Structure 1
Amino acid sequence: MSSEAIHNIVTLVPQDGKLTDLIQAFNKLSLYVQTHEPETLLYYAVQPKGKDQLVIVEKYASERALKNHAQSVAFKEFGKAITGILQTPPDIKTSSFTGGFETRSRI
């Protein structure tokens, strides 16, 4: 694991009835990230059971990779798409890897 890797956990809480719109906007962005951002190492969203929220898990190879992501046209379009549908501002927790594993080796 690179010590310079950046991990973000982002919680988005949509207004009532807007979860589907939020998921659609994220899915569009994630397709762009997968295709155009090789230094974005992990990028997926989960929905906690029983909650209208989206929790996004991100891992970037470096601070530069995160900066490139944040400055991309696709990310800016995502920001515009979710403006007005969030109940609260995004809760972003930048974190460090402390233990466990991200993938399993296949033999």
Structure 2
Amino acid sequence: MPVIVATITPKPDKVDEVAEVLTRLIPEVHNEDGCEVYALHKGKDRFVFVEKWRDMAALGVHGGAPSIKALNEGLKGLVTGPPDIQILEALPAGDPAKGAL
């Protein structure tokens, strides 16, 4: 099950606008087949999605979904560059319930 960490860096004066674009599309993504976790977090100067998908096929469909196309369109001119997207594989350790997403 792939875990994704996607970091989006807004321009300093566009933080609220970026937050609106990102949060508006979350319900649509939550309804996508294979979406297990799609959670948005805010840092000092960035937004970070932590995602978990059933499999790579579901992640692939998500990448071409209308929600992602709308997200990319909505972020034009509001961010410092493209998102940093990391596709990760868990290395479980310790308590199985706490050692992996």
TM-score of Structure 1 vs Structure 2, range by shorter chain = 0.7 to 0.9
* Counterpart in the other structure of 2:39: 44
Q: Is 1:11 aligned with 2:1?
A: no
Alignment of 1:74-89 (within 5 A): 74-89=67-82
1:54 to 35, 47, 52: 47
Q: Which 5+ residue runs of structure 2 have no aligned equivalent?
A: 93-98
The percentage of aligned residue pairs carrying the same residue is 24
1:8-31 CA-to-partner distances (Å, cap 9, x unmatched) read: 101111101211111111111111
The two structures, once aligned, show a CA RMSD in angstroms of 1.3
Distance 2:14 2:58 in 1: 30
Q: Separation in 2 of the partners of 1:82 and 1:74?
A: 12
Moved over 2 A (4+): none
AA partner of residue 65 (structure 2):
S
* 1:33-85 per-position Cα deviation (integer Å, ceiling 9, x unaligned): 12x2131111011112xx12101101111111011111111210111000111
Is 1:28–2:24 an aligned residue pair? yes
SS of 1:17's equivalent?
helix
Letter matched to residue 55 of structure 1: V
Aligned length: 95
Distance 1:71 1:87 in 2: 22
Q: TM-score, normalised by structure 2?
A: 0.86
